[in-house]
């Protein structure tokens, strides 16, 4: 009984159906063809709800109604349903992404930005920092920083972090080129990196530390080395234009 309940719950999640729809659909799959009354008896769905559920499943393309007396229903092959669900989810996500993108152009969003700018003035800048623990969390945070870049990205990395940094940067390079964002990598030279990051300016540099600076406003220090277990890896994030710009200037001076 528990396994059957778990099975139905998983199907609800996969195919985006309610519990009555799942019960009717699986009952029909087990019979091949059946009337509404038969499906109500097999599935345990109340007869008063059975016709509504069948109508909903038909609209969603899970079943086909066969005209006759009595009216009977046929189940659509699960593989065809899966492809349809995948297509619907993809279309919905693309539509939602477009809607979210349009929000940037609204007056409400501009107001939010003004509120944030006025509010940040009341925050002690020294408190705008935090540590991030775990390689997965750090990688996610780096991607978030890079996605917000508007003009300039500076990456300094050791040989140990180079492969990882390359993977993180690769997906952003087309966007950087399109937005004319200047991206520069200071690292030991690697022909593989040069091939993968064609739009990136690579400067040969043997660093003993690794950090990322975005727009001279925020930076992330990769504190741990590659020997540390991924779940214990630590990075320090700082959001202070004055501090970050100072570090950037000092680093550039050290190159001369």
Over the stretch 205-220, which tens digit does the pLDDT of each residue have? Answer: 887 888 999 998 899 9
Residues carrying CATH 1.10.10.10, the chain: 2-80
Q: Of 127 and 30, which is predicted with more confidence?
A: 30
- Say if CB 234 and CB 134 are below 8 A apart: no
pLDDT at 128: 66
CATH number of 128-255: 3.30.870.10
Q: What percent of the chain has pLDDT over 90?
A: 11
User: With 50 as the cut, is the pLDDT of residue 143 above it?
Assistant: yes
Nearby residues of 20 by Cβ (< 8 Å), 6 or more positions away: 43, 45, 49, 53
Second CATH level (architecture) for the domain 2-80: Orthogonal Bundle (1.10)
Residue 80 to residue 29: CA distance in whole angstroms: 13
pLDDT at 214: 93
pLDDT at 139: 92
- Say if CB 138 and CB 235 are below 8 A apart: yes
Kindly report the average pLDDT of the chain as a whole number: 83
Q: Of 105 and 119, which is predicted with more confidence?
A: 105
Nearby residues of 211 by Cβ (< 8 Å), 6 or more positions away: 155, 156, 219, 220, 221, 222, 247
Tell me the range of 4-13, 59-68, 136-145 where mean pLDDT is highest.
136-145
Over the stretch 157-207, which tens digit does the pLDDT of each residue have? Answer: 888 888 888 888 888 888 888 888 898 888 887 777 767 777 778 888 887
Q: Of 197 and 41, which is predicted with more confidence?
A: 41
User: With 60 as the cut, is the pLDDT of residue 2 above it?
Assistant: no
Residue 18 to residue 12: CA distance in whole angstroms: 6
Residues carrying CATH 3.30.870.10, the chain: 128-255
pLDDT at 1: 47
pLDDT at 116: 62
pLDDT at 121: 53
Residue 211 to residue 222: CA distance in whole angstroms: 6
**Angle in degrees, CA 122, 244, 141, rounded to 5:** 85
pLDDT at 153: 92
Query: Cα-flanking dihedrals φ and ψ of residue 74, to 5°?
Result: -115, 140
Instruction: Report the candidate in 179, 176, 205, 175 with the shortest Cα–Cα distance to residue 190.
Output: 205
Over the stretch 53-92, which tens digit does the pLDDT of each residue have? Answer: 888 888 888 888 888 788 888 888 888 888 888 888 888 8
How much is the pTM?
A: 0.52
User: With 60 as the cut, is the pLDDT of residue 113 above it?
Assistant: yes
């Amino acid at each position: 009984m528990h396994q059957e309940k778990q099975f139905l719950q998983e199907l609800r999640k996969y195919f985006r159906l309610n519990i009555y729809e799942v019960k009717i659909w699986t009952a029909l799959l087990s019979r091949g063809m059946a009337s509404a009354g038969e499906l109500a008896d097999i599935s345990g769905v109340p007869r008063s709800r059975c016709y509504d559920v069948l109508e909903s499943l038909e609209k969603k393309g899970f079943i086909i109604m066969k005209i006759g007396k009595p009216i009977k229903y046929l189940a659509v092959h699960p593989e065809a349903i899966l492809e349809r669900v995948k297509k619907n989810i993809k279309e919905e996500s693309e539509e939602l992404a477009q809607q979210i993108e349009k929000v940037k152009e609204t007056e409400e969003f501009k107001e939010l930005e003004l509120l944030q700018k006025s509010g940040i003035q009341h925050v002690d800048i020294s408190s705008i920092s935090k540590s991030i623990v775990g390689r997965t969390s750090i990688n996610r945070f780096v991607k978030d920083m890079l996605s917000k870049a508007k003009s300039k990205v500076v990456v300094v990395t050791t040989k140990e972090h180079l492969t990882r940094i390359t993977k993180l940067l690769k997906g952003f390079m087309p966007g950087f080129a399109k937005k004319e964002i200047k991206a520069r990598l200071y690292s030991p030279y690697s022909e593989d990196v040069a091939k993968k990051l064609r739009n990136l300016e690579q400067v040969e540099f043997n660093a003993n530390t690794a950090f990322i600076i975005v727009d001279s406003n925020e930076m992330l220090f990769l504190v741990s080395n590659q020997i540390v277990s991924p779940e214990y890896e630590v990075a320090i994030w700082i959001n202070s234009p004055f501090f970050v710009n100072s570090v950037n200037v000092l680093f550039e001076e050290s190159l001369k």
